[in-house]
Amino acid sequence: MALGESYVDGWWDCEALDQLFFRITRAELDKKVKGLMNKDVIWSILKAKVLNRQVKSRSRKVVAKHYNLSNDLFKNMLDESMTYSCGYWKNAQNLDQAQVDKLDLVCRKIGLRPGQKILDIGCGWGSLARHAAVNYQAQVVGITISEEQARLARERCRGLPVEIRVQDYRDLNEKFDHIVSIGMFEHVGYKNHRTYMKIVNRCLEESGLFLLHTIGYNTSQVINDPWMSKYIFPDAAGPSPRQLSQAIEGLFIIEDWQCFGPYYDRTLMAWHERFTKNWDQIKSDYDPGFYRMWTYYLLSCAGAARSALYPVWQVVLSKHGVVGGYQSIR
């Protein structure tokens, strides 16, 4: 906590924060300072274990802190499609192409066909919804609990067979041919993982596929990094392989599990490049400390992703198994 706060306050600086955090995490220095956890961190862990911090009444307040910051901020940081998740850089040379390739990869992994109805849980600014509707002639329902995201997503998808709702996933009760969730599961909370999977199972047609794209942890956690939780993503925490497996056991069959980790580093560095390049266009909307806070967020995450501390996964799930076997797509 102090490391991040002192950087934002200008107590120290570094020419390459991403490299600093790559070395810190690669050397596993966090394991050598666990005994120094302060009372605030200990209290956060206890609250996460005892309370459900991601209940519906609190979720919208949490989302407002990050995703309602300003659409202009994200327009100046993200690619043209405004996709706020890890890109797919296998054949891409720039951020725009990496995100288009990722959106298309998702559609191909679920075998999307014209006329099918899909659900996008945590639809952001409508990038996947728009891509699926334009390129695959699909009908899309996208849900978010961010009013700012929904407003812009509706504008971007105007005239397409896309419905954008401000709706909590826990209120869903209808059928879809396929379901996708990209970069939202990190906000569900480990106490709600099983509930989330039960709802997806209930809403997915018997022969449908569910694709989950999420940042994870290599070991089971109940809270995020304390600084990140306080200033960037309140109450967020990605799942571990064990937590994810426990959540889906008896509900789904794992058809495919792809590691996107190395691509996340490159995506974060591209976001930081765009953020710094376009800062002058938006800086009047923020206090002086915001630039350093956002820089610390993007570059510390890039370094951590580079060291494999933050894996990113795309998992394809079916309810009964794909007849004849699922063909993995890369």
Q: Are 121 and 143 in contact (CB under 8 A)?
A: yes
Q: Are 132 and 179 in contact (CB under 8 A)?
A: no
Q: Are 105 and 182 in contact (CB under 8 A)?
A: no
Of 251, 67, 256, 76, give the one whose Cα is nearest residue 145: 67
CA distances from 94 to 80, 99, 209, 266 (A): 11, 9, 29, 10
Catalytic choice (107, 123, 203, 301): 301
Q: Are 111 and 286 in contact (CB under 8 A)?
A: no
Backbone torsions φ then ψ of 165, nearest 5 degrees: -115, 145
Q: Are 180 and 119 in contact (CB under 8 A)?
A: yes
Q: Which two tokens stand for residue 323?
A: 């007849």
Q: SS3 for 12-45, per residue?
A: CCCCCHHHHHHHHHHCCHHHHCHHHCCHHHHHHH
Q: Which amino acid is at 142?
A: G
Can you tell me whether residue 120 is helix, strand or coil? strand
How far is 274 from 262, CA to CA, in rounded Å? Answer: 19
Q: Are 110 and 141 in contact (CB under 8 A)?
A: no
Of 118, 117, 163, give the one whose Cα is nearest residue 144: 163
Q: Which residues contact 283 (CB under 8 A, 6 or more apart)?
A: 291
301 classed as catalytic: yes
Q: Which residues are catalytic?
A: 301
